[in-house]
Amino acid sequence: MSDFDPWDALMIIDGRLRGPKGVKDLRLAVDTGATYTLIAEDTLRRVGYTVFDGGIAEMLTATGVVEVPLLRVSLLQTLGLDFHNQRVGAYTLPEGSEV
């Protein structure tokens, strides 16, 4: 479990993703302006999500606009809360990202 530092420039929280093939602990960056939670494609595949058929969202990143496939995950847990059937984006952040 990571320690929350309210003074850090990037807020990181712990999370857990449940899929058809298992559970994976996550480190999530808090983005108060985000519409969707983004989870790396390899992490989604590792817990059994193989079809990203929830549509496509265009998202503005530091390097420009990217198209991100959307899907629903059975359970995403963070901050003591359970989010069932949560819509997330499948997107791998650039190498060197903290999360």
The answer, as to whether pTM is greater than 0.95, is no
Number of domains in the chain: 1
- Token pair 């990571």 is found at 2
Distance CA(84)–CA(76), nearest Å, equals 7
pLDDT in tens, 26-63: 999 888 888 899 999 999 999 999 878 889 999 887 78
The answer to whether position 21 is within a domain reads: no
The answer to whether position 40 is within a domain reads: yes
> In this prediction, what percent of the chain has a pLDDT beyond 70?
90
Question: How does residue 1 score in pLDDT terms, banded at 50, 70 and 90?
Answer: low
Backbone φ, ψ for residue 84 (5° rounding): -90, 145
Inter-residue contact 21 to 72 (CB < 8 Å): no
Q: Is 88 exposed, middle or buried (0-12, 13-18, 19+ CB in 10 A)?
A: buried
Distance CA(28)–CA(7), nearest Å, equals 16
The CATH number assigned to the domain holding 78 equals 2.40.70.10
- Token pair 């069932």 is found at 84
Domain limits at 60?
33-90
> In this prediction, what percent of the chain has a pLDDT beyond 90?
60
The answer to whether position 74 is within a domain reads: yes
Lowest-confidence range among 16-25, 38-47, 88-97?
88-97
Question: How does residue 25 score in pLDDT terms, banded at 50, 70 and 90?
Answer: very high
